[in-house]
């Protein structure tokens, strides 16, 4: 099946653009320097190459333009006549002939000047011949500038043509203007043809597709036709006449019985009789549209007689065309507003065009060769018992449910129906809240204020609120479990008054320390870290701890000794550790003859406690800071350090700090200065 895709034709450049393209390509793709002292042979070859290259490029570009446009004699007659209607085919052929003539002239110019360059005896003469050759080529191209501009307009028009397949099953809609052709097109296809209550809204052919019995059908909406002489019809009407004349299709002639289109039934009947010769050998149907405004039984006697005459002519046309069943129904009533009769007209048209195509194939000579390859097997009856078609009850139930679902779907009101009921577009505003999924439907219309009590509501919305609540609940549970554990461990009923007083003081102090720790934790981001050597208050010392424990009646010696043993030793202090405790073995310690060990080399490098604390604080993920987990935070910190690494290498304070390492580079400010720029060498 031949496919016509005129959208693939490339853009035709104007004369000036074509000259610029070819000369620029010659300058870029050919050698540009020839020396005065070169041999004459090299000079000739240099300029001959330029002339030959330019001529071949001009010839190739013009050949592409000629070959991409279709030959009107080789394409389908429908497209050939349609292109002739839109623009004169003689002008089109003349423009292509001028382009072809220019191509031959350029080829001849290139050949002649290459022959002259073979006898060039100097650089100056070869250069003059090259300039003359390129100049004559450009003059020829500028002479066909109007033809190239005309072909570009033709290309744009051809690219806008619809993709119509002349060999496909086709339904053609025709009639007077504003009789409902585009409305019917939009009903049976997914095309979106403009509908307006005035004539000649459709100004060109529109194509849509519909399905019937698992087959694809092509539906063509044509512009309106007026009843006037053939030579008086304009381009819009001639598009419809061309489609009726050349496409093998089922024709639906639309008749507006209400007269709201601006044309009476008599005028529409006159149009039908004037173009009835175009309906030969085609299935024809007369569709009486807009019966919601004017029913058929309410027509006058004169109008009924005209409709009957059209019906008789349609039957006669079918019988002349060779249809075996000339008495088949050709008159249909329909209303595109209420969808009454739309599906009937569509289905009947599809069946008629399918039967017509099968009948034409049966009459062709090729059918005899095909019938010899087929064998139709007919089953023989084994007895006289009748066996009617049996449909399982499950299938009937499913069919009934499907029909009920379709009826409910048709009853359901869409947003478009609500819009039409409530004043139309610009008046009705669709509610976006009715599809909200909430616990109660009454909440859908609640108005959420932006400002309440002088505060912005958005400031009190936290996306991590659930995570924070879980963290608080977990902390509260741990705190309650700790208090319960302390109370279960120590019960003050069996204590002396002094001991009970000391226990209450310890618990009070413990609560105060916990509260102080929580306050410090909440302000850890903004509080500076003060080294211990600058701690002037001396809050955490072993002397203070000893005084407090002594005040409580406890022996502080073991606690002080434990704290001192865990403190970080100063650099240079000698540490004595046993081999069993350290576990380093012979690699880390030497044992002398007296049994005393001294560290000589440590294999493992100790990490200070402050460094461990800093690493833990970095990897800790605080909710609300924008990090999903610890891995994401560590990666972000790593990328941040990497981004400022080069800046630190350049000794810059920030991104705006500009560093010029060498104000006066030697290669720019040394050596002899001649004529020309001094900014570069």
* 8-state DSSP, 562: H
pLDDT at residue 587 in the model: 43
pLDDT at residue 171 in the model: 92
Residue 403: how many other CB atoms lie within 10 Å: 10
pLDDT at residue 581 in the model: 38
pLDDT at residue 529 in the model: 66
pLDDT at residue 602 in the model: 42
pLDDT at residue 576 in the model: 46
Alpha-carbon distance values, 421 to 413, 424, 428 (Å): 10, 7, 9
| Residue extents of the structural domains in the chain | 6-158, 163-366
pLDDT at residue 491 in the model: 67
Which residues of the chain have a pLDDT value below 50?
1-2, 322, 324-326, 487-488, 571-613, 616, 681
Which tens digit of pLDDT belongs to each residue from 347-368? Answer: 999 999 998 888 888 787 777 7
Structure tokens at 528: 């500076």
Segment (H or E) for 210: strand 206-212
* CA neighbours closer than 13 Å in the CB half-sphere of residue 442: 0
CA distance 631 to 182: 63
pLDDT at residue 314 in the model: 84
The topology (CATH level 3) of 6-158 is 1.20.120
pLDDT at residue 485 in the model: 53
Tell me how far apart the terminal alpha carbons of the chain are, to the nearest angstrom.
67
pLDDT at residue 129 in the model: 94
Neighbouring-strand partners of residue 250: 171
Which tens digit of pLDDT belongs to each residue from 38-72? Answer: 888 999 999 999 999 999 999 999 999 999 898 88
**Does this model's pTM top 0.85?**
no
Radius of gyration for the chain, computed over Cα atoms and rounded to the nearest angstrom: 49
Which one, of 501, 503, 523, lies nearest residue 511 by Cα? 503
CATH 3.40.50.300 fits 163-366, yes or no: yes
CA distance 328 to 325: 6
pLDDT at residue 673 in the model: 67
pLDDT at residue 467 in the model: 83
Contact, 294 vs 256, CB < 8 A? no
HEC profile of 574-631: CCCCCHHHHCCHHHCEEECCCCCEEECCCCCCCCCHHHHHHHHHHHCCCCCCCCCCHH
pLDDT at residue 585 in the model: 42
pLDDT at residue 498 in the model: 85
């Amino acid at each position: 099946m031949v496919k016509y895709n005129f959208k693939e034709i490339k853009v035709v450049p104007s004369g000036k653009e074509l000259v610029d393209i070819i000369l620029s390509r010659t300058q870029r793709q050919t050698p540009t320097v020839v020396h005065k002292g070169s041999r004459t042979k090299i000079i000739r070859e240099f300029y001959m190459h330029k002339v030959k290259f330019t001529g071949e490029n001009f010839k190739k570009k013009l050949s592409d333009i000629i070959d991409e446009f279709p030959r009107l004699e080789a394409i389908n007659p429908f497209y050939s006549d349609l292109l002739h209607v839109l623009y004169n085919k003689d002008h089109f052929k003349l423009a292509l002939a001028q382009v072809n003539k220019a191509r031959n002239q350029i080829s001849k110019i290139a050949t002649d000047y290459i022959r002259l360059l073979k006898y060039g005896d100097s650089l100056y003469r070869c250069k003059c011949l090259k300039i003359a050759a390129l100049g004559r080529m450009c003059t020829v191209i500028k002479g066909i500038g109007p033809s190239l501009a005309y072909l570009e307009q033709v290309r744009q028009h051809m690219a806008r043509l619809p993709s119509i397949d002349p060999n496909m099953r086709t339904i053609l809609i025709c009639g007077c203007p504003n009789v409902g052709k585009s409305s019917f097109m939009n009903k049976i296809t997914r095309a979106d043809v403009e509908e307006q209550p005035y004539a000649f809204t459709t100004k060109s052919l529109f194509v849509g597709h519909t399905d019937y019995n698992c087959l694809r059908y092509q539906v063509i909406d044509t512009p309106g036709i007026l009843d006037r002489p053939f030579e008086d019809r304009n381009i819009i009407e001639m598009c419809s006449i061309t489609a009726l004349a050349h496409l093998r299709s089922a024709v639906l002639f639309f008749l507006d019985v209400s007269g709201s289109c601006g044309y009476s039934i008599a005028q529409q009947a006159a149009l039908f009789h004037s173009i009835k010769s175009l309906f030969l050998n085609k299935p024809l149907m007369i569709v009486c549209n807009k019966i919601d405004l004017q029913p058929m039984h309410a027509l006058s006697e004169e109008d009924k007689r005209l409709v009957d005459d059209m019906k008789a002519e349609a039957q006669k046309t079918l019988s002349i065309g060779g249809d075996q069943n000339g008495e088949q129904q050709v008159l249909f009533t329909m209303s595109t507003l209420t969808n009454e009769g739309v599906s009937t007209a569509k289905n009947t048209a599809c069946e008629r065009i399918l039967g017509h195509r099968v009948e034409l194939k049966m009459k062709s000579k090729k059918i005899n060769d095909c019938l010899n390859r087929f064998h139709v097997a007919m089953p023989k009856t084994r007895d006289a018992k009748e066996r009617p078609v049996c449909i399982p009850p499950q299938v009937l139930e499913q069919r009934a449910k499907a029909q009920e679902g379709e009826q409910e779907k048709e009853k359901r009101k869409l947003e478009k129906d609500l819009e039409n009921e409530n004043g139309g577009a610009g008046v009705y505003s669709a509610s976006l809240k009715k599809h909200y999924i909430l616990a109660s439907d009454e909440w859908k219309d609640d108005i959420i204020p932006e400002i309440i009590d002088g505060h912005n509501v958005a400031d009190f919305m936290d996306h991590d609120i659930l995570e924070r609540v879980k963290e608080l609940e977990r902390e509260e549970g741990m705190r309650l479990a700790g208090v319960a554990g302390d109370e279960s461990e120590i019960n003050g009923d069996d204590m002396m008054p002094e001991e009970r007083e000391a226990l209450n003081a310890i618990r009070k102090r413990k609560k105060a320390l916990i509260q102080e720790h929580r306050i410090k934790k909440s302000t850890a981001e903004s509080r500076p870290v003060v080294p211990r050597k600058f701690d002037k208050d001396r809050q955490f010392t072993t002397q203070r701890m000893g005084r407090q424990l002594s005040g409580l009646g406890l022996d502080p010696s073991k606690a002080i000794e434990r704290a001192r043993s865990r403190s970080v030793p100063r650099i240079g202090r000698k540490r004595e550790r046993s081999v069993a405790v350290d576990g380093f073995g012979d690699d880390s310690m030497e044992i002398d003859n007296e049994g005393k060990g001294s560290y000589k080399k440590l294999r493992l490098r100790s990490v200070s406690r402050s460094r461990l604390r800093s690493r833990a604080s970095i990897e800790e993920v605080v909710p609300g800071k924008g990090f999903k987990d610890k891995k994401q935070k560590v990666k972000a910190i790593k990328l941040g350090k990497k981004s400022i690494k080069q800046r630190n290498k350049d000794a810059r304070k920030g991104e705006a700090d500009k560093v010029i390492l060498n104000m006066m580079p030697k290669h720019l400010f040394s050596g002899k200065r001649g004529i020309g720029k001094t900014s570069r060498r």
